[in-house]
Amino acid sequence: MRYALWLISLLLAGILIAACQSPKAPVIFEEKMMVMGTVVSVTIAGEEDKLSNKAFHDLLTDFKYMQAAWNPWKKGSLARVNQLLPMGPAFTIGPGIKDILERSRILAQKSDGLFNPAIGKLVKLWGFHQDEMPEGPPPSDAQIQKLLTSGLTLDALTVEGLSLVSRNPDITLDFGGFAKGYAVDKAIEHLQRLGIKNAIVNAGGDLRAIGSKGDKPWVIGIRNPRTEGIIASLRIKGDESVFTSGDYERFYDYKGNRYHHILDPRTGYPANETRSVTVVHGDAATADAAATALFVAGPKRWEEIAKKMAVSEVMLIDKAGKILISAALNARITFLDRKNLDITVSRLVHE
Ligand code: AMP
Ligand code: MG
């Protein structure tokens, strides 16, 4: 409930900033839906209500479909794949799953395996394959090591046409680190097909924006990982996605320790050097996967992995609250209280 309230306030924060009025403010359409475990808000500028309404209802149908297809713990296409994968023989998958699998395979390779959708069983073992927050206890080290030793990577899966086969019965798929971005891209593509040029699709604070709000850019808020407010705002340049991975999104406390949902595929434990990572990039799928990967990479490896994934606008807030930010993002972000923050700017080699 607290999370839901926070989400609504963040969505509002983004939109309120966006509402800093221009003299010729365009008509703004804004509607929300509850899908994929979060509040998705669709904002469209300067279109007739009839078109905006149609667009919103199309997206509602699409998001509901994608939510049913890609949820690892509810009956649907992905749950079926996860049931069949460990059995051994090759089986037929739908073209939708094939596409998301192939896209995520490329991103997983570029991330050096830190973004790894093959760790479904590990995410389940930690208790995160359910709608409710788990209460613990966390899994035993023996359980974790047993899963890790088999080598959980997408390399063990072979796709030929629509046939999928796995060489490792410990692999199941979890697209939680990437499906939201993939879905937001599909949503924006649909709006563009309808002729809409100025819009934001915001899924619980993660968003892709196109165009502008009349003669002003869209302005969005980036969440502070330790308060319920925002730490910075950003003016969007045309077509951009802003995705954040955080340790505050899904977690539980057990006997004084906090366990959150972003797992380090090398250790099998929640990645513990980072509070949040924000990535700004053209497409939402890449931004989403990169935010998850760079969260795992942590303060020591984020620059190297950002380079491999070809993302240049990144902000990482480490476990002590220190901000590490790429020069490209630092040049355009507006912190609410810059002088009281510990900020280190890094010039990524590929910028
Ligand atoms: P995000 O908020 O985009 O970082 O996604 C977190 C979700 O991705 C988790 O709830 C898991 O379902 C899944 N996940 C956790 N760790 C990883 C990882 N290292 N690589 C890919 N997906 C992950
Ligand atoms: Mg992600």
pLDDT band for 17, please (50, 70, 90 cuts). Answer: low
Identify the pLDDT of residue 25: 82
Average pLDDT over residues 227-236: 96
Percent of the chain predicted with pLDDT > 90: 91
Could you tell me if the CB of 296 is within 6 A of ligand 1? Answer: yes
Identify the pLDDT of residue 348: 80
Name the more confident of 2 and 175. 175
- How far apart CA 245 and CA 232 sit, in angstroms, is 15
Tell me: pLDDT of 66 over 80. Answer: yes
Q: Quick one: which of 111, 92, 105, 80 has its CA closest to 157? A: 105
Tell me: pLDDT of 12 over 50. Answer: no
pLDDT, tens only, 274-308: 999 999 999 999 999 999 999 999 999 999 999 99
Tell me: pLDDT of 3 over 80. Answer: no
Could you tell me if the CB of 113 is within 6 A of ligand 1? Answer: no
Average pLDDT over residues 90-99: 96
Give 292 Cα–ligand 1 centroid separation in angstroms.
6
What is the overall mean pLDDT for the chain?
93
Nearest-atom index, ligand 1, CA of 263 = 16
pLDDT, tens only, 184-226: 999 999 999 999 999 999 999 999 999 999 999 999 999 999 9
Nearest-atom index, ligand 1, CA of 288 = 3
Percent of the chain predicted with pLDDT > 70: 92
Average pLDDT over residues 71-99: 96
**For residues 318 and 127, is the Cβ–Cβ distance under 8 A?**
no
- How far apart CA 163 and CA 175 sit, in angstroms, is 19
**For residues 302 and 112, is the Cβ–Cβ distance under 8 A?**
no
| Strands 323-326 and 343-346, bridge-based pairing | parallel
* Residue 288 three-state SS: helix
Identify the pLDDT of residue 1: 46
Structure tokens at 129: 């394959």
Q: Identify the helix (H) or strand (E) that includes residue 240.
A: strand 240-246
CA-based torsion, 63, 229, 243, 24: positive or negative: positive
Nearest-atom index, ligand 1, CA of 128 = 10
Identify the pLDDT of residue 23: 56
Give 178 Cα–ligand 2 centroid separation in angstroms.
5
Tell me: pLDDT of 15 over 60. Answer: no
Domain spans in the chain, listed from the N-terminal domain onward: 73-166
Ligand nearest to the CA of 288: 2
Could you tell me if the CB of 249 is within 6 A of ligand 1? Answer: yes
Residue nearest to atom 10 of ligand 1 (CA): 261
Could you tell me if the CB of 115 is within 6 A of ligand 1? Answer: yes
Residue nearest to atom 15 of ligand 1 (CA): 262
Site to probe by mutation for ligand 1, drawn from 248, 262, 286 as the one with most ligand atoms within 8 Å of Cβ, is 262
- Backbone dihedral angles phi then psi of residue 227, each to the nearest 5 degrees: -130, 175
Q: Which residues pair with 152 in a beta bridge?
A: none
Identify the pLDDT of residue 125: 98
Residue nearest to atom 5 of ligand 1 (CA): 177
Residue nearest to atom 11 of ligand 1 (CA): 176
Could you tell me if the CB of 41 is within 6 A of ligand 1? Answer: no
- How far apart CA 64 and CA 43 sit, in angstroms, is 18
Please provide the DSSP assignment of 14-55 as one string. HHHHHTS--TTPPPEEEEEEEETTEEEEEEEES--HHHHHHH
Ligand nearest to the CA of 204: 1
Residue nearest to atom 8 of ligand 1 (CA): 177
Report the CATH fold assignment for 73-166.
T-fold (1.10.3980)
Average pLDDT over residues 3-11: 51
Identify the pLDDT of residue 349: 62
Out of 7-11, 275-279, 301-305, 342-346, least confident range? 7-11
Identify the pLDDT of residue 139: 98
Q: Quick one: which of 286, 58, 32 has its CA closest to 193? A: 58
Identify the pLDDT of residue 226: 95
Tell me: pLDDT of 177 over 60. Answer: yes
Q: pTM for the whole thing?
A: 0.93
Could you tell me if the CB of 112 is within 6 A of ligand 1? Answer: no
Residue nearest to atom 23 of ligand 1 (CA): 177
Give 189 Cα–ligand 2 centroid separation in angstroms.
20
Could you tell me if the CB of 173 is within 6 A of ligand 1? Answer: no
Give 161 Cα–ligand 2 centroid separation in angstroms.
27
**Cα angle 96-239-229, degrees, rounded to a multiple of 5:** 95
pLDDT band for 11, please (50, 70, 90 cuts). Answer: low
Nearest-atom index, ligand 1, CA of 265 = 19
Tell me: pLDDT of 351 over 80. Answer: no
